[in-house]
Amino acid sequence: MIDFDALVLKPAGDIFQIKVSVTPLVTQPGQPAYEANGVYNKRDLDVEMQDGIIFSDHEVSLGIRPWDFVIPPDQGDLITIIDIRHPAFGQQYWVGDSDEDGQGGATLLLRSKEPLS
């Protein structure tokens, strides 16, 4: 069996990952923030509405290796970009969704607005 995590995800992560701070508001309430690493991605989205108008937005995500966490971040936790080399340095996001890829990785879909209580 091929260990995709060891052969691909970890080496790629070592090259592309940035430092983030995770505040585990939901997964570990009351616990302090901690540093972690992930691969940041921002992609533009254009959606054509029924009247032909184009609605433009973007989607921000963070690729992680769940094995790197005792309890991986999940929906409602806070992620702050703390890597001073990264253009998004200082940005705060809430995890809106978390999806495992079945190959040893997971994608956290990040939201810039605080979730409704």
Residues 41-72: pLDDT tens digits? 999 989 899 999 998 988 999 999 998 999 99
CATH code, residues 4-111: 2.40.10
CA distances for 57 relative to 9, 43, 54, 60, 111, angstroms: 28, 9, 10, 10, 12
* Token pair for 113: 């607005």
pTM for the whole structure: 0.85
Task: Kindly indicate the confidence band of residue 117, based on its pLDDT and cuts at 50, 70 and 90.
Answer: low
**pLDDT tens digit sequence for 79-111:** 999 999 999 999 999 999 999 988 888 999 999
- Specify the pLDDT at position 116: 65
